[in-house]
C-alpha cells in the first residue's frame, strides 16, 4: 500500500500565560501537548488516534491539517513537507473538527461554492462537485436554507459535505461522532467507510472505544501527548477481545 | 485575486441580506438627517441672521478728517443702505483722535457699531487729490463681531472702501474686531463636522469590523477558511477592502443625510465651500475612514470575541469624539501638529470651515493617515498568520 500521510517526531508546545500556568498548577510557562509522536497512514486505510480528553488528539490533527505548525518534527503528505508547501497541500486535506463551524448566516449551497472558490475550483468543477456531494448526503432538500435554521443532523451532513469540497486525498476527522445521535453517527461511519474504499487515507481521533473496533484498521493510543502503543485493531481484538480491554489492561492504571 | 474577491463578496452578501446589518450600515445616515434638521430648526430659532430694517447704525469717526463735511465713505454708507430698503437713519459721531480709547470701549460694550480712525495727513487726499507718495494715508475701521449689526456695517464699509486705491484700510491694526468671535454657520460647522464625521464613521466601523472578524473567530468559521489554500494576506485584504467599501457606503449615506438636512440647517445663512475644499474634505474623510477600518480590524483580529473587540473599541469612540472638538479649544494649526495622527485630519476638516491650513499640512495629514492604515493592515495580516491569535 502507498503511504499518504507521514507524521515524523511531531512535538507541539504551547506557551502559557502566567495565569494559564497557575490555573493548571504547573510552574513551567510551557505545555507539551504533543510529545514526539510518529505515525503513518496509507491510502485505503483508517487510522484512529485514541485517548482520553486532553491527550493531545485535537492538537495532533490540527498540525496534520496545517492549521497550526509543529514546534518540532515534520509532516509529509505524498512525500511533500507540509510546512514548506502548505498552500498547495491544504487542497488535498479534508478536515473536520467540532471547533470548525459553518457560517450560520449562509446556506449550504452558498458555503460550498464559497469554499470551492477558496480551493481554486473552477465554476464548472464547483457545480459538478456540489451536485455530486449534495446528492450523496441528501442535502438538496435544504441546500438553500441558512445553516442556523438547520437541525443538528442536517448541520452534520452539511459539515461532512464541506470537508470534501475539493475531493481531498487525506481525510482528517477529529471526534467525528461526538454529540451525534445514533442515526447521524451511523451516517458518518458509513461515509468514512465509503471514502476508505475509494482509496482515501483517513485519520480520525476519538475517545470512543467501540468506534475504533467498528471502523479503524490501526489504532494509536495517545496518553499525555505521547503515542504509547500502535497496533492493528484486528491484532488487539484477537489478543484482548476488544480495544477497550487492551487499553485498560495495558494502561488502565495510568489515568 | 479570485480568493480576495470571494472573501469580499461573502462580506457584502452578509451585510446586504441581513436586515439587522443593513440597519447598522444605514441608520447613522438617517440619524444625521434627523439630528441636523432638528439642530437647523433650533439655530434658526436663535435669529442670528438679520438686522432689523429700521435699525440706526451708530458710527464714530475721528475729526482729523480734514473737512467740516461728513466723510465721503459715510455718505456712501447711508445712500447704499437707503437704496437697499433700510429705513433706519444712521448716526455719525465725530470724536477727537485722543478719545479713541474711550470710543473703542464704547464699541466693545455695544454703545457704538463702528469706530473709524483716520491717520494724520488723511486730509491731504481732499486737498491734493490721490497722493503718489509711497506712504499712503490709512483708515482703521473697528467693529464688534459679537453684534450682528456691527458685523454687517463692517462688511459693508469694507466693500465701500475697496474701490479706493488712494488710501489703505486697517494697515495699522492687527485685529479690527474688538468683540468676541462671531457666531457664524462656518464656525458652527468647523467643530460640528469633524465631530459628527468621526462619531459616525467610527460607529459604522464598530458595527462592522468586530462582527466580521472577531465574530468569525468566535463562531469558529475562520478555521474553515484558513484550512483552505487561501493565504493570510488574501484573507486580511479581502476583509479590509470589503469592510472599507461598506464603511464608505455607510459614510455616503451619512453624507447624503447631511446634504438633505442642509437647507433647514442653513436657513437664511450661507456656507461657502469651493470645489477644492470639497475635494479636500473627501480625501480627509476617506483617509480617516481607512485608518479607522484598518485599526478596528486589527483590534478585532486580536480579540477572541465580538464582545472583547467592542470592549476595546467602544470607549475609544468617546476619546475620538473628544479629540475631534479639540480644534475648538486649542490652536492646532502650527505645522508640527500635522504629524499628530488623527488630530491632523480633524484640523484639516475643521479648517475648511475656519482658518485654512497650508497644503503641506493637508499633505502630511493625509499621507500619514494612509501610511498608518497600511501599517494596521500589515499587523492584521501578521495576526491572521499567528496561530496564537487565531486559535489561542
Ligand atoms: N492553544 C492552546 N494553548 C494552550 N494549551 C492548549 C491549546 N490547545 C490545546 N491545549 C492543551 O493541550 C492539551 C491537549 O489538548 P487537545 O489536543 O485538545 O486534547 P484532546 O483533543 O485529546 O482532548 C490540553 O491540555 C489542552 O488544554
Ligand atoms: Mg479534542
| pLDDT tens digits along A88-138 | 899 999 999 877 789 999 999 999 999 999 999 999 999 999 999 999 999
Torsion of CA A15, B232, A36, A22, to 10 degrees: 20
| pLDDT tens digits along B101-149 | 999 999 988 899 999 998 876 766 656 665 556 667 788 999 987 777 8
Report, in angstroms and rounded to the nearest whole number, the Rg of chain A calculated over CA atoms.
Answer: 19
Whether B2 has a pLDDT exceeding 70, the answer reads yes
ipTM: 0.88
d(CA B368, CA B361): 11
Residue of the CA atom closest to atom 20 of ligand 1: A54
Banded model confidence at residue B214, pLDDT cuts 50, 70, 90: very high
Q: Residue A98: which of A175, A162, A157, A34 has the closest Cα?
A: A175
| pLDDT tens digits along A49-96 | 999 999 999 999 999 998 899 999 999 999 999 988 888 899 999 999
A42: β partners = A3
Count of Cβ atoms closer than 10 Å to residue A22 Cβ: 11
d(CA B197, CA B185): 17
Taking the CA of A178 as reference, the closest ligand is: 2
CA angle, residues B246, B252, B256, in degrees to nearest 5:
150
Distance from CA of B249 to the nearest CA of A (A): 22
B327 burial via Cβ count (<10 Å: 0-12, 13-18, 19+): buried
Catalogue all structural domains in chain B, each as residue range(s) with its CATH number: 2-45+183-391 (no CATH), 58-169 (3.40.190)
d(CA B332, CA B259): 28
Banded model confidence at residue A255, pLDDT cuts 50, 70, 90: very low
Q: Which domain holds residue A24?
A: 3-254
Cβ–Cβ gap A114/B231 under 8 Å: no
**Could you tell me the CATH number of the domain that includes residue A186?**
3.40.50.300
Q: Given this model, what pLDDT does residue A207 score?
A: 93
Q: Which residue ranges have their beta carbon within 6 Å of ligand 1?
A: A 14, 31, 33, 51, 53-59; B 391-392
CA of B300 to the centre of ligand 1 (A): 24
Instruction: Write out the residues surrounding ion ligand 2, Cβ under 5 A.
Output: A 58
Q: Given this model, what pLDDT does residue A178 score?
A: 86
Asked whether the CA dihedral B264, B270, B275, B277 is positive or negative, the reply is: negative
Cβ–Cβ gap A104/B219 under 8 Å: yes
| pLDDT tens digits along B374-391 | 999 999 999 988 877 777
| Sheet of B138-142, strand order | B91-95, B58-62, B114-118, B138-142, B168-169
Q: How many domains does chain A have?
A: 1
Distance from CA of B230 to the nearest CA of A (A): 6
d(CA B59, CA A253): 107
Nearest CA in chain B to A96: B224
Task: List, in sequence order, the alpha helices (H) in chain A.
Answer: 18-24, 57-64, 86-89, 108-118, 123-137, 152-163, 182-197, 209-215, 233-240, 243-251
| CA distance between the termini of chain B | 29
Number of helical (H) and strand (E) elements in chain B, helices listed first = 16, 5
For the segment B227-255, the average pLDDT, to the nearest whole number, is 85
Instruction: For residue A17, give the H/E element and its range.
Output: none
pTM: 0.75
- Distant-in-sequence, close-in-space partners of A128: CB < 8 Å, separation ≥ 6: none
Cβ–Cβ gap B227/A66 under 8 Å: yes
B55 SS3 class = coil
Interface membership of A161 toward B (CB under 8 Å)? no
| Contact yes or no for B243/B212 (Cβ under 8 A) | yes
The number of the ligand 1 atom at minimal distance from the alpha carbon of A62 is: 17
The number of the ligand 1 atom at minimal distance from the alpha carbon of A31 is: 5
Amino acid at each position: 500500500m502507498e503511504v499518504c500521510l507521514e507524521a515524523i517526531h511531531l512535538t507541539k508546545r504551547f506557551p502559557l500565560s502566567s495565569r494559564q500556568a497557575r490555573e493548571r498548577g504547573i510552574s513551567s510557562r510551557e505545555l507539551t501537548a504533543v510529545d514526539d509522536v510518529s505515525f503513518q497512514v496509507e491510502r485505503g486505510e483508517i487510522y484512529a488516534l485514541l485517548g482520553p480528553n486532553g491527550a493531545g488528539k485535537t492538537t495532533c490533527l490540527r498540525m496534520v491539517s496545517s492549521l497550526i505548525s509543529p514546534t518540532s518534527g515534520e509532516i509529509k503528505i505524498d512525500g511533500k513537507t507540509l510546512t514548506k508547501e502548505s498552500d498547495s497541500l491544504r487542497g488535498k486535506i479534508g478536515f473536520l473538527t467540532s471547533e470548525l463551524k459553518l457560517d450560520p448566516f449562509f446556506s449550504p449551497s452558498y458555503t460550498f461554492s464559497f469554499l470551492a472558490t477558496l480551493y481554486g475550483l473552477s465554476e464548472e468543477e464547483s457545480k459538478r462537485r456540489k451536485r455530486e456531494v449534495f446528492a450523496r448526503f441528501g442535502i438538496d432538500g435544504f441546500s438553500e436554507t441558512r445553516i442556523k435554521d438547520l437541525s443538528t443532523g442536517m448541520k452534520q451532513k452539511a459539515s461532512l459535505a464541506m470537508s470534501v469540497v475539493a475531493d481531498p486525498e487525506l481525510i482528517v476527522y477529529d471526534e467525528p461522532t461526538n454529540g451525534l445521535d445514533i442515526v447521524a453517527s451511523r451516517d458518518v461511519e458509513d461515509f468514512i467507510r465509503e471514502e476508505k474504499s475509494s482509496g482515501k487515507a483517513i485519520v480520525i481521533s476519538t475517545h470512543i472505544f467501540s468506534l475504533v473496533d467498528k471502523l479503524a484498521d490501526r489504532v494509536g493510543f495517545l496518553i499525555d501527548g505521547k503515542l504509547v502503543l500502535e497496533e492493528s485493531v484486528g491484532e488487539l481484538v484477537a489478543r484482548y477481545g476488544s480495544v477497550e480491554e487492551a487499553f485498560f489492561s495495558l494502561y488502565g492504571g495510568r489515568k | 485575486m479570485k480568493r480576495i474577491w470571494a472573501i469580499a463578496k461573502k462580506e457584502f452578501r452578509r451585510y446586504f441580506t441581513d436586515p439587522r446589518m443593513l440597519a447598522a450600515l444605514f441608520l447613522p445616515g438617517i440619524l444625521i438627517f434627523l439630528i441636523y434638521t432638528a439642530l437647523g430648526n433650533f439655530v434658526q430659532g436663535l435669529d442670528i441672521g438679520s438686522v432689523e430694517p429700521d435699525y440706526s447704525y451708530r458710527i464714530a469717526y475721528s475729526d482729523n478728517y480734514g473737512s467740516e463735511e461728513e466723510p465721503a465713505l459715510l455718505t456712501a454708507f447711508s445712500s447704499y443702505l437707503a437704496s437697499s430698503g433700510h429705513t433706519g437713519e444712521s448716526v455719525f459721531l465725530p470724536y477727537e483722535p485722543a478719545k479713541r480709547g474711550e470710543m473703542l470701549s464704547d464699541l466693545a460694550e455695544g454703545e457704538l457699531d463702528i469706530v473709524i480712525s483716520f491717520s494724520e495727513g488723511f486730509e491731504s487726499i481732499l486737498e491734493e487729490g490721490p497722493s503718489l507718495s509711497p506712504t499712503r494715508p490709512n483708515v482703521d475701521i473697528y467693529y464688534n463681531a459679537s453684534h450682528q449689526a456691527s458685523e454687517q456695517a463692517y462688511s459693508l464699509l469694507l466693500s465701500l472702501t475697496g474701490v479706493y486705491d488712494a488710501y489703505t484700510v486697517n494697515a495699522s491694526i492687527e485685529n479690527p474686531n474688538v468683540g468676541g468671535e462671531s457666531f457664524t454657520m462656518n464656525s458652527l460647522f468647523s467643530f460640528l463636522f469633524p465631530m459628527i464625521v468621526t462619531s459616525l464613521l467610527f460607529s459604522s466601523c464598530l458595527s462592522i469590523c468586530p462582527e466580521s472578524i472577531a465574530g468569525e473567530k468566535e463562531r469558529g468559521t475562520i478555521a474553515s477558511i484558513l484550512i483552505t489554500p487561501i493565504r493570510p494576506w488574501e484573507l486580511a485584504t479581502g476583509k479590509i477592502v470589503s469592510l472599507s467599501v461598506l464603511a464608505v457606503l455607510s459614510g455616503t449615506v451619512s453624507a447624503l443625510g447631511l446634504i438633505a438636512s442642509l437647507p433647514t440647517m442653513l436657513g437664511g445663512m450661507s456656507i461657502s465651500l469651493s470645489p477644492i475644499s470639497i475635494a479636500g474634505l473627501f480625501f480627509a474623510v476617506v483617509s480617516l475612514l481607512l485608518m479607522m477600518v484598518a485599526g478596528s480590524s486589527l483590534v478585532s483580529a486580536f480579540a477572541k470575541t465580538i464582545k472583547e473587540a467592542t470592549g476595546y473599541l467602544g470607549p475609544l469612540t468617546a476619546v475620538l469624539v473628544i479629540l475631534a472638538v479639540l480644534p475648538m479649544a486649542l490652536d492646532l494649526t502650527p505645522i508640527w501638529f500635522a504629524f499628530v495622527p488623527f488630530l491632523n485630519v480633524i484640523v484639516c476638516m475643521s479648517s475648511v470651515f475656519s482658518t485654512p491650513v497650508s497644503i503641506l499640512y493637508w499633505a502630511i495629514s493625509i499621507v500619514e493617515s494612509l501610511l498608518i492604515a497600511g501599517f494596521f493592515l500589515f499587523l492584521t495580516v501578521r495576526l491572521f498568520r499567528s496561530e496564537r491569535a487565531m486559535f489561542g
